[in-house]
Amino acid sequence: MTTDPNPHATNTVSVLGLGPMGTALAQALLSAGADTTVWNRTASKAQPLEQAGATVAPDAAAAVAASDLVITCLRDHASTRELLDELPAEALAERTVVVFASSTPSEARATQAWADDKDIRLLVGAIMVPTPLIGSPEGLILYSGREDLLEAHRPTLEKLAPRSPFVGADPGMASVLDTAMLEVFFTGMTAFLHAAAVVTANGLSAADFVPWANSMLDILPETFRGLAEDTDRGEYPGTEDNLAMELSALRHMVHASHDAGVDSRLPALLRDVAQDAVDRGHGADGWSRVVEVLRQPR
Ligand SMILES: NC(=O)c1ccc[n+]([C@@H]2O[C@H](COP(=O)([O-])OP(=O)(O)OC[C@H]3O[C@@H](n4cnc5c(N)ncnc54)[C@H](OP(=O)(O)O)[C@@H]3O)[C@@H](O)[C@H]2O)c1
């Protein structure tokens, strides 16, 4: 494996893959004054960037040849590896490749192993914000694997996201956190939508419900801290709440959903997990006990 990041990194950067995210990345680089080359399989998507000052490369090899830093933002890791594999063997020498396609942790590890095997300097990143926040102070991209490459190109990469933390030497770690953070996000959004369906079936508007939903959000940060403490300690005291009581509340949630004619799979899932914990003899424990139920699926 090559360990020496390019010590002479310049301000040249190429972006391969100009879907909505690749386009946002290239636009942010152009706005920050970087000498930016772009390439996309479907050439027409490069035209707006050309008007914004980017150099459009005729093919992927030319795009890679143009810059020290090569950013890929294709649909997934498999198509990224395929594209890079088609380049001449020496094309990526003296280049740093940053792969931004979303992936599973194991895919990210496979991409890093593939690169190490070919002596390609490659860094994996997980973009944690939507396109409008790329290049803004709220931008957040997680990196894992090759910290040396992140630090060598940090000035350029921070043009995309000022918050660009290195989260671990395991190249899968950015994806671990990406999928875990998205789980919190999608579960929260879906819980809101389920609750909104029940509330609107009872005559309120979804907008009426927002302040009430937000009052639950207010207590989540402290709740997460407590759940994390219990999880890391492996102790699940039911001093403030207990699963037997919570099971009863969750049954009410399922009934309210049925009564409103709304799909009950989400509250039923929560009820079933709580029931499982109670069935295993943990009715007097707190909700944090659920982590053990999830760790030991039947
Ligand atoms: N959009 C977001 O808000 C967001 C947020 C976080 C992460 N991401 C991640 O960023 C990545 C890109 O997303 P996106 O929003 O830009 O949309 P996208 O629709 O996933 O973009 C796909 C891009 O990949 C190219 N592509 C796909 N297969 C290819 C292949 N075999 N060879 C060459 N190019 C190929 C497409 O080229 P063509 O134009 O020729 O089809 C297009 O440029 C995804 O992994 C996505 O999960 C996106």
Using most ligand atoms within 8 A of CB, pick from 38, 39, 41, 80 the residue to mutate for ligand 1: 41
Look at residue 9 in the predicted model and tell me its pLDDT: 53
Residues of the chain scoring pLDDT < 70: 1-10
CA 130 to CA 219: how far, in whole Å? 26
Alpha carbon of 12 to ligand 1 centroid (Å): 22
- Structural domains of the chain, with CATH: 12-170 (3.40.50.720), 202-295 (1.10.1040.10)
pLDDT in tens, 225-251: 999 999 999 999 999 889 999 999 999
The pLDDT value recorded for residue 4 is 46
Look at ligand 1, atom 42, and give the residue with the nearest C-alpha. 19
Classify the C-alpha dihedral 193-194-195-198 as positive or negative: positive
Atom of ligand 1 nearest to the CA of 45: 39
- State the pLDDT at residue 282: 96
Residues 6 or more apart whose CB falls under 8 angstroms from that of 137 comprise: 162
Which of 14, 71, 74 to probe ligand 1 with, by most ligand atoms within 8 A of CB?
Answer: 74
Rounded distance from Cα 22 to ligand 1 centre (Å): 7
Nearest of 111, 73, 98 to residue 151 by alpha carbon: 98
- Identify the residues whose C-beta falls under 6 Å from ligand 1: 17-22, 40-42, 45, 73-76, 79, 82-83, 100-102, 127, 130-131
**What is the C-alpha separation between 291 and 233, in angstroms, rounded?**
12
What is the pTM (predicted TM-score) of this model? 0.91
The residue nearest atom 35 of ligand 1, judged by CA position, is: 74
